[in-house]
Amino acid sequence: MGEYISRSYVGNGWVVNFADASAKGGGDAPLIYRFGKAVNSKEMQSFAAYLVQQKRKISR
């Protein structure tokens, strides 16, 4: 269920929206990483690293 976060991300801060949820998002990288580590999800840990990398590119 947690991996839905990484699977619904379409890029540039946008996610596939569900029901009345916002389509703008992307997530809190440290929280996603910690949850991924707790449930042993390499996918979530990698996604968190990707989000951090993208944030660094934007701030340059």
Please indicate whether residue 60 or residue 36 has the higher confidence score (pLDDT): 36
Return the pLDDT at 22.
81
Return the pLDDT at 60.
65
Could you state, in order of their start, the residue ranges of all structural domains in the chain?
Answer: 1-6+27-60
Question: Mean pLDDT across the stretch 30-40?
Answer: 96
Q: How far apart are CA 38 and CA 58, in angstroms?
A: 29
Task: With CA atoms as reference, report the closest residue to 47 among 18, 16, 10, 22.
Answer: 10
Give the phi and the psi of residue 20 in degrees, each rounded to 5.
-105, 15
pLDDT in tens, 4-31: 888 989 988 888 887 887 888 767 999 9
Percent of the chain residues past pLDDT 90, beyond the cut: 47
